[in-house]
Chain A
């Protein structure tokens, strides 16, 4: 359905050019539901706008729904639906009129367009609002109207840019119900971007992660999580010496060397300084840890929490370099394939060695952990300092 090769787009801004998308390759087969994930400014929307023929690529090529996006944009447009980030309906127009216009834009006759308008109104539970103007609808209803506009011509491939952003949980669930039903009933191929990691995780069968204009991961959510992040077991001890001993036991079990960090976490008022200290001692990936230390500075309230946060970052980061055991203060973190099975085993080994654990928990990775493992920062941090997408010149 989608075959993109080396798709690149740069924008001119003051003092040079910004490469928003740097040579991405994407292949999507018919019937797939793909979530396209990345922080603001990563190049999601720009990629989508290229694939939908809205924006010509600076270089590279793509075939979408069997047609070349540069040589035959009309062929692409006739076969795809696109639901943008903003509301697609004009403020001055009645809802049904907009749907009829949309059908006419796709070349339907007036009679056909009217029939289709009524069908999609019905399909998205908007029939009672047909003569109203978009301004009178709720956020969820407006979003359903956007989807209705994208469905008028029965596309086989539908692009959705942040379909559920800004909606309350109930409306989000409702939008997803419609999206999934569309797929179940018509086998529509869906390619969507989302801010909500849990949505990508639970709904999409394939997740593509983009950062700084490049694709950095591609696979099922489960694959990405087990390959790139892994489960963790987190055990707290009453003293640092216990923790060090426990780490060497974990090391024997997993067969790797532990990454031991200094333990200044208790000095919570100097969290920023201690974060620096972490970074220097968090071997072997010092350069990565420099960025990973940032969250420690934000979690300053409770020493244990602080340690866990920084250790979690350090763990995920050092995972890239192969370390599976991380010690910070009195907390040991072990990365394992199956935390549920590994934890009892580990606790038995500790008991046999006479080391007393005072708390133990397991943690399943999220897609955020995957992003962290790949980039050294979390998606939420990246969101905090959004890079505005420059306009085309």
Chain B
């Protein structure tokens, strides 16, 4: 399968510098942990969230990381677009879609390692995950993240050679996407207009689905809507991404 081989090629290229730089890897792992330990206690103190703040909070952190990881993939692509590395690889027969997926997968391996660490460390704090639910939740995140990654590649390609557009838009949409999804604070406590806006945010459905899945609620409607949202983002992202690559950079 040339497509699988191409994806592996890109993945290996991308992951090599991470594996060769243990200090960088350490920092990468520290970041979500700091968040967990510094923000988490605040949450459990502020008990608008009944008695299971970790159940609510851990899936949220994973989604935050899932939003920033693929954006970083777009940023790295932009850097290589502005330099000549991307062009050099586009002249080879390697699959264009594999170039997108391989890059996103690398971000995901890092993400999954972070997720395992967070889940492992939050269990002693009172987090009670459902094993099957966690696996399903992570799979959902992978689908969503590949789509997000591809969209951030489209944005990177559209922003080259300057790059300002990329920085501008990612800065602009990152926080609304987060705040209007209920990752950090529950949407239900907001006004009606905000809840309406949140209903159009695909991240909202992913967040709800993750919380349901981590709680072991594998057959809920939330999980189904989340899956649909993730698949839609993934399909749109890959279609636009591959088209942008084909059109010429």
Contacts and interface: CB of A to CB of B under 8 A. Distances in A.
22 contacts: A54-B248, A56-B247, A56-B248, A74-B93, A82-B91, A85-B84, A86-B87, A90-B85, A91-B79, A97-B16, A101-B9, A102-B88, A104-B5, A104-B9, A104-B13, A106-B92, A106-B93, A106-B94, A107-B5, A150-B88, A391-B160, A392-B248
Given A101-B13, A102-B92, A54 B79 contact: no
B29 interface: no
A54 B92 CA distance: 10
B12 interface: yes
Interface string B17-41: 1001000000000000000000000
A193 interface: no
Contact of A97 (B13, B80, B161): B13
A54 B90 CA distance: 7
Given A54-B90, A54-B91, A93-B16, 10 more contacts: A74-B93, A82-B87, A87-B83, A90-B85, A91-B79, A93-B17, A102-B88, A105-B9, A107-B93, A149-B88
B89 interface: yes
- Interface SS of chain B: helix
Contacts of B17: 92-94
Contacts of B92: 77, 102, 105-106, 153
Contacts of A77: 91-93
B2 interface: yes
B28 to A, nearest CB: 14
Interface size range of chain B in the complex? 20 to 34
Given A54-B249, A55-B248, A105-B92, A88 B87 contact: yes
A91 B83 CA distance: 9
A154 interface: no
A101 B83 CA distance: 17
- Interface SS of chain A: loop
Q: Give the 6 A-B CB pairs with smallest separation, nearest first.
A: A86-B84, A88-B88, A105-B92, A101-B13, A55-B248, A104-B9
B89 A86 contact: no
